[in-house]
Amino acid sequence: MSGLNINIQALLYSIPAVLLALTFHEFSHGLVASWLGDDTPRLQGRLSLNPLRHLDPIGTLMLIFTRFGWAKPVMVNPLRFRGNIKVGMMLVALAGPLSNLFLALITVILSNLMGTGVLPYNPYFAEFFYQLFWINIFLAAFNIIPLPPLDGSKVLAMLLPDKYAEKVYSMGQYSILILVALSLTGIMSMIINPIATAFATGIMIISGIV
C-alpha cells in the first residue's frame, strides 16, 4: 500500500510540473518566433502562459506517465522571419528544449537554496522540484530527437543541404508510428535516457557555478 501511495503522490506533483514544463516550452517557441518578426503565434493566442492554450491531451498524459510527451505545436510562418529562414526555424525549435533546461536549472538552484537553509525547507516543495526537474529534463531530451515534428528535426534540417532537409521533413507522415514503435520496443528509453543523463549532469555542474 505504501508503494501505491508514493505513486499517487508522485502523480499529484507531476501534473502541475507537466503543465508548467509544456506551457513554458510552447510559449518559448512562440516568443522567439515573435521576436523574429512572425506574429502568427500571437494571433493564434499562443503567446500565453495559460496551459489550456498549449496542451494536447494525449501528449500531456504521455509526459505524466512515461516522462516523454508533447503539446500542441506552435504554428509559425518562417516567411515572416527577419534574416535567414532556416536559421530562424532552428532558433524557434531550440527555444523549446532550452527553455526546459533553463527551468531545470532554476529548479536545482531553488532546491539547493532550500537544502542549505537560505530558503525554508518544505517537503512538498522538495518533491515538486524533484518532479519538475526530471520532467523538464526528459521533455528537452525527447524533443531534441531529430524526428518530425520534434524540435530536433528542425535543427537537423538547418544543418543539412536543402535536398536532405526535405527528406527529414518527409518523415513526418510516419513519425507517430515510429514514435509508438520505439516506445513499445523500449528503444525510446534507450535513446532518451543517455541524453537526459547528460542534460542533468550539465545542469548540476552549471548550478554549482552559478
Task: Respond yes or no: is residue 26 known to be catalytic.
Answer: yes
Nearest to 60 by CA among 49, 50, 48, 72: 72
Residues 104, 89: contact at Cβ < 8 Å? no
Half-sphere exposure of 204 (CA within 13 A, CB side): 8
Q: Which of 21, 22, 26, 64 is catalytic?
A: 26
Residues 139, 146: contact at Cβ < 8 Å? no
Residues 70, 54: contact at Cβ < 8 Å? no
Which distant-in-sequence residues (6+ apart) come within 8 Å of 116 by Cβ?
Answer: none
What is the separation of C-alpha 141 from the centre of its chain, rounded to a whole number of angstroms? 7
CA dist., res. 133 & res. 106, Å (int): 9
Catalytically active residues are 26
